[in-house]
């Protein structure tokens, strides 16, 4: 089994940002208290599982988080990943750079053939950790994947660029970050959930990684100082009525914006 190729999926647990949020004491609370697997990472995992089914990769998922996050990581095993590692003890307020440094240490020790991860997390929407990690590893990277296939020992990624789709081939090992438009992640089946309980889940302090002593004392270089509610857009006028009323309201609305070129 030693020559089996491995895809490492780097995943993050996030609050359920699509549930209602409220502020209390400068902190944000969500109506669904259960954390979720970041949607973009779920797409990355789905793609890794599809590639595994076609090419026989072993799929390993790594997550940085508190011990409680094992529950979310278990969901990744229920979706079909073979094995998982939870890295605990990350510094308080770890930013993308700290996360990328920790992951880099893990990846170097682990030695996968590819790292596949979400292009951003659904809570902070930062989207930096992926290419930071690739740069630390000295690996080729492709971001915002909307299609991935493996051929001739290469990863072929279709990425959505600004004005075209780009088809990029990379030798292994390489790093790929995924759009959530890549696929619809599978829902764990009952059988998958039962099987996940027997799959290996390693819980490991980051101090156990190579360079672990310095990893636990790394200070994040960017600090989130305050969270405030976004100034809400106030609800404007809602127009109902016959066709003429609706069209009049639209023409008036369009004419109020000089750039439309519609005469007031």
Partner 1 sequence: MSSGEQSSGAQSSGEQSSGEKAQVEAWLIGPEAETHQAKAAQYGASILRLMNLEVDADQGGVKVSLGRRWVDAIDEIMTQSTSELNSEGHPSDSTLLLFDNTELTKDILGACGARLGAPVIADVVDLSWDGKQCIAQRPTYASKVMSKVITSGSVCLCSIRAGLFEPEEHPVDATTHHYSAPTTDALGQVLQALVAPEGDTVDLTEAPIIVGVGRGISDETGKELVAKLAELIQGEIAISRAHFESGMYSHTLLVGQSGKVVAPRLYLALGISGSIQHVAGMSESHTIIAINKDPDAPIFEIADVGIVGDLYQILPALNQALESKKDE
Q: Which of residues 233-252 bind partner 1 (CB under 8 A)?
A: 233, 235-240, 243-244, 246-247, 249-251
- Please report whether residue 32 would count as binding partner 1 according to CB under 8 A: no
Figure out which of the listed residues 24, 138, 151, 187 binds partner 1, where binding follows CB under 8 A: 138
Figure out which of the listed residues 51, 106, 179, 192 binds partner 1, where binding follows CB under 8 A: 179
Look up residue 162 and give its DSSP letter: S
Sign of CA dihedral 39, 40, 44, 46: positive
Peptide bond into 167 cis (omega under 30): no
Q: Which is it for strands 174-178 and 114-118: parallel, antiparallel or unpaired?
A: parallel
In angstroms, the CA 131 to CA 144 distance is 11
- Please report whether residue 189 would count as binding partner 1 according to CB under 8 A: no
Figure out which of the listed residues 53, 166, 189, 214 binds partner 1, where binding follows CB under 8 A: 166
Q: Give whichever of 180 and 196 is closer to partner 1, judged by the CB atom.
A: 180
Binding piece for partner 1, criterion CB under 8 A, among 1-9, 10-18, 58-66, 190-198: 10-18
- Please report whether residue 85 would count as binding partner 1 according to CB under 8 A: no
Neighbours of 185 (CB within 10 A): 19
- Please report whether residue 93 would count as binding partner 1 according to CB under 8 A: no
What are the C-alpha distances in Å from 28 to residues 19, 22, 165, 226?
12, 6, 37, 11
- Please report whether residue 53 would count as binding partner 1 according to CB under 8 A: no
Q: 118 and 44 in contact (C-beta within 8 Å)?
A: yes
The distance of closest approach from Cβ of residue 141 to partner 1 in the complex, given in angstroms and rounded to an integer, is 7
The distance of closest approach from Cβ of residue 197 to partner 1 in the complex, given in angstroms and rounded to an integer, is 32
Q: Give whichever of 213 and 263 is closer to partner 1, judged by the CB atom.
A: 263
Q: 106 and 62 in contact (C-beta within 8 Å)?
A: yes
Q: Which is it for strands 154-160 and 21-24: parallel, antiparallel or unpaired?
A: unpaired
- Please report whether residue 100 would count as binding partner 1 according to CB under 8 A: yes
Figure out which of the listed residues 32, 108, 109, 222 binds partner 1, where binding follows CB under 8 A: 222
Figure out which of the listed residues 85, 88, 122, 196 binds partner 1, where binding follows CB under 8 A: 122
In angstroms, the CA 148 to CA 142 distance is 10
In angstroms, the CA 156 to CA 188 distance is 27
Q: 80 and 46 in contact (C-beta within 8 Å)?
A: no
Binding piece for partner 1, criterion CB under 8 A, among 59-67, 69-77, 118-126, 205-213: 118-126
- Please report whether residue 230 would count as binding partner 1 according to CB under 8 A: yes
- Please report whether residue 56 would count as binding partner 1 according to CB under 8 A: no
- Please report whether residue 125 would count as binding partner 1 according to CB under 8 A: yes
Residue in 183, 120, 140, 182 with CA at minimum distance from that of residue 130:
120
């Amino acid at each position: 089994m030693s020559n089996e190729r491995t895809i490492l999926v780097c995943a993050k647990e996030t609050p359920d940002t699509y549930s209602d949020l409220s502020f209390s004491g400068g902190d944000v609370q969500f109506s669904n208290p259960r954390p979720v697997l970041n949607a973009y990472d779920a797409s990355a995992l789905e793609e890794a599982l599809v590639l595994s089914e076609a090419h026989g990769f072993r799929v390993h998922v790594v997550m940085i988080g508190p011990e409680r996050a094992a529950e979310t990581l278990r969901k990744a095993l229920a979706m079909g990943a073979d094995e998982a590692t939870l890295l605990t003890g990350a510094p308080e307020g770890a930013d993308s750079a700290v996360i990328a440094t920790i992951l880099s240490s893990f990846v170097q020790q682990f030695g996968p053939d590819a790292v596949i991860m979400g292009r951003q997390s659904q809570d902070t929407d930062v989207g930096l950790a992926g290419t930071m990690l690739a740069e630390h590893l000295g690996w080729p990277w492709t971001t915002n994947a909307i299609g991935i296939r493996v051929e001739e020992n290469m990863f072929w990624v279709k990425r959505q660029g600004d004005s075209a789709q780009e088809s990029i081939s990379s030798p292994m090992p390489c790093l790929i970050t995924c759009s959530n438009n890549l696929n619809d992640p599978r829902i764990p089946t009952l059988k998958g959930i039962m099987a996940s309980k027997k799959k290996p889940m390693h819980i490991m302090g980051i101090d156990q990684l190579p360079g672990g002593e310095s990893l636990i004392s790394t200070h994040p270089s960017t600090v989130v100082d305050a969270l405030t509610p976004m100034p809400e857009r106030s609800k404007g006028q809602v127009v109902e009525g016959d066709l003429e009323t609706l069209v009049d309201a639209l023409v008036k609305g369009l004419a109020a914006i000089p750039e439309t070129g519609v005469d007031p």
